Amino acid sequence: MRVGVFDSGAGGLTVAKSLLQTPLFDEIIYYGDTARVPYGIKDSNTIIRYGLEAIEFFNNFDIDLLITACNTVSAYALNDMREVASYPVYGVIEPGIWALEKKGINKDANILIIATRATINSKRYQIEIAKKGFKNIMALQTGMLVPIVEEGIFEGKVLEAMLEYYFKDIATPDAIILGCTHFPLIAKSIKNFFHNKPILIHSGEAIVEYLLSLGYKKLPKTPSMQIYASDNVKNLRTIAKKWLSQ
Ligand code: DGL
């Protein structure tokens, strides 16, 4: 089976990595819209249009299913994308919330969602998590972490200063939803900031578990992967080499 993985840029490689670590498909076609990243500061119409254009891109590849690794696109464009796609389209929000429930986290626990401005403003995570009965939900826009990760900064003083900026006034959460493709790369620093207490929900791990629960089967062989980008594909391939080995 051939799976498409779509993201606004390089961040979705964190989801591709999970699919390489737990093979469910023979081939991964990765497409990063590097010419137009970041999506997280765009308005809903633009995000939907970009999602629909991604479907057009993947129509050239005869894929069996598409994973929208981008949380921002998952928050706004999934329904529109599903309407025009001839294959199933999965987002990462539903699997993330499914993973939160599956970890058996208490409904009174403090849940922190961190994501781009657009994802937080969509309230998708907040609404769906509340529907599951969780009572203490906090949502924070932490978009400045995206360019830090794009710079290849996964630890150290600059990142710590940014975490301090965002998190200094909040109590240690019991669980954090990493509601942005980039954040798994700084998961260790985020966890350290809160003295290793919170459980972190990672979109890549969540989607793999979710697909397994839907009946997709583990394969014995690591998938092959092709990488495409709307700008500077060479750069994305270099980033992929580095990120996939982290
Ligand atoms: N891929 C985006 C997300 O997961 C983060 C980067 C962007 O703003 O495009 O929300």
Q: Locate the domains of the chain by residue range.
A: 2-91+205-243, 93-202
pLDDT of residue 151: 87
In the predicted model, is pLDDT for residue 125 greater than 80? yes
pTM for the complete prediction?
0.96
Is 8's C-beta closer than 6 angstroms to any atom of ligand 1? yes
pLDDT of residue 245: 84
pLDDT of residue 25: 98
| Annotated active-site residue in 70, 75, 77, 207 | 70
Fold of 2-91+205-243: Rossmann fold (3.40.50)
Strand (E) or helix (H) holding 121: helix 117-122
| Annotated active-site residue in 180, 211, 236, 240 | 180
pLDDT of residue 243: 86
In the predicted model, is pLDDT for residue 149 greater than 80? yes
Q: Looking at ligand 1, which residue's alpha carbon is closest to its atom 2?
A: 70
Name the average pLDDT for the chain: 96
Across the range 23-32, mean pLDDT stands at: 98
110 labelled catalytic:
no
Is 116's C-beta closer than 6 angstroms to any atom of ligand 1? yes
70 labelled catalytic:
yes
Q: How far apart are the CA of 183 and the centre of ligand 1, in A?
A: 10
Strand partners, 179: 115
Q: Give the position, in ligand 1's atom list, of the atom nearest the Cα of 41.
A: 8
Instruction: State how far the Cα of 180 lies from the Cα of 125, in Å rounded to an integer.
Output: 12
In the predicted model, is pLDDT for residue 238 greater than 80? yes
Q: How far apart are the CA of 220 and the centre of ligand 1, in A?
A: 31
Answer yes or no: same fold for 2-91+205-243 and 93-202. yes
Q: How many CA atoms lie within 13 A of 168 on its CB side?
A: 5
CATH entry 3.10.20.30 includes domain 93-202:
no
pLDDT of residue 235: 94
Instruction: State how far the Cα of 223 lies from the Cα of 102, in Å rounded to an integer.
Output: 27
Mutate to test the pocket of ligand 1, among 33, 36, 71 (most ligand atoms within 8 A of CB): 71
Q: How far apart are the CA of 115 and the centre of ligand 1, in A?
A: 8
In the predicted model, is pLDDT for residue 246 greater than 80? no
Residues 6+ apart with CB under 8 A from 111: 100, 105, 129, 134, 136, 137, 138, 173, 174, 175, 176, 177
Q: pLDDT for 70-113, tens place per residue?
A: 999 999 999 999 999 999 999 999 999 999 999 999 999 999 99
Q: How far apart are the CA of 242 and the centre of ligand 1, in A?
A: 19
